[in-house]
Amino acid sequence: MREWGRAMVELSTAIDHLATEDVSEVPRLQLVEQLIELHWQMARLQAQIARRTGVRLP
């Protein structure tokens, strides 16, 4: 469970960092690359949510 908490703090910190960026300052090509990467990571996160949603509790 300790790893879980650390992972969630890291994820939250990464999202907070993204929220502070001024995306209007990011060059267009870099922004496209970032969007692709963000969508990839979002899909991975959604897969983990779906995986946990499918677990049946006793």
pLDDT tens, 3-57?
999 999 999 999 999 999 999 999 999 999 999 999 999 999 999 999 989 887 7
The reported pLDDT for the residue numbered 1 is 64
Is residue 31 within 8 A of residue 23, CB to CB? The reply is yes
Is residue 54 within 8 A of residue 46, CB to CB? The reply is no
Q: Which amino acid is at 3?
A: E
**Looking up tokens 């960092």, which residue turns up?**
17
The reported pLDDT for the residue numbered 19 is 96
